Structure 1
């Protein structure tokens, strides 16, 4: 079984490998491909354009030629997954969609934290749609200044800020906290012990990919 993962940050490779290990997947089952330029282009354009979406879909289709499933691990580029899926024979998993479907089963207030402004719109749409069946209250929040820290390579400060935002969300009544981007995953370990662990997309995405592969 080969699951191809399309990333927009090199650092997310280790995060996905860690999630695969937790799920008991073979060490060589993930195929990683990084296209940071696609996210940079979307950030410069102020969001996902039809041209960037088409290019992302083309990359997904190329990866699908050598994989049993493809995971798109970027919430900003997420809509390109549907575009590629219409022309692909293997499952295409949108990581934030897999997380939204999992979180959507929750009840009560769900706070979804983001660190990039370009992901707010697609993330809000996904999580609100997924929550319709349970009536969960979705609150999508941007952690201001966090992405600047990430781009500057200040990983410890980036994760610390995310952990603080997660604790604040719990104090304000959130029953569930979710991290919209894979790069945020490490912040879960920084929360005080009396807070629940926030949910992140890598595990949800790989579980969805495995389910889709076995269902074929």
Structure 2
């Protein structure tokens, strides 16, 4: 039995992330429990980023999810720094697994974000995992988040695929962006996070 065959409590900022994580969890024999706090991301967007108060509420919500779980997973890249402070259970940000996986790939790396509030936490995260001399670029996909907010999933995915076209290794820094990975050739947060959890290796 895998050491991490356990219940992981996930905190999302969009309900649409749940069906992206469940298939990845099933492939690795993991059980997930979900909670959604869309208001936290909305507040961060309004504030131009995650403020200390927003991060504190994110930590409080994660703590409320702890009973009955063995680990906590924060799937929102904008709110990711919330897990930097201690929590009742092992807690990690899903995009950290992606950063580690992507930075281990040879060659130049393109990291795509869909919302501007994610840019700085993503830049810091990927820089922390970058080996010396690694060539990589962080880029915002123009107009993508407006499509997501409008419920235009196909347009959202198309904008992401267009931004990724012609690049070598491409990492989609937000969990919601996994909808663009129809061909399976892009690195996504749900796949990376569940693979890491199944190996018993929650990334720092």
Greater than 3 Å deviation, 4+ residue runs: 210-214
1:1-20 maps to which residues of 2 (within 5 A)? 1-20=6-25
Cα distance, 1:93 vs structure 2:
1.8
**Who is 1:176 aligned against?**
169
Which whole-Å CA distance do the structure 2 matches of 1:45 and 1:60 have between them? 21
Pair 1:103-2:108 in alignment: no
1:1-216 maps to which residues of 2 (within 5 A)? 1-23=6-28, 25=29, 29-83=31-85, 86-88=86-88, 90-133=89-132, 135-168=133-166, 170=167, 175-189=168-182, 197-212=185-200
Which whole-Å CA distance do the structure 1 matches of 2:193 and 2:144 have between them? 23
Cα distance, 1:56 vs structure 2:
0.2
Contact 1:19/1:203 (<8 A) preserved: yes
Counterpart secondary structure, 2:34? strand
Higher relative contact order (CA 8 A, sep 6+): 2
Structure 1 or 2: larger helix share?
1
Counterpart secondary structure, 1:79? helix
Contact 2:12/2:37 (<8 A) preserved: yes
Contact 1:68/1:91 (<8 A) preserved: yes
Cα distance, 1:182 vs structure 2:
1.1
Cα distance, 1:213 vs structure 2:
7.7
- TM-score of the two chains, using structure 1 as the length reference: 0.86
> Structure 1: any 5+ residue segments left out of the alignment?
none
- Tell me how many residue pairs correspond in the alignment: 197
Counterpart secondary structure, 1:11? helix
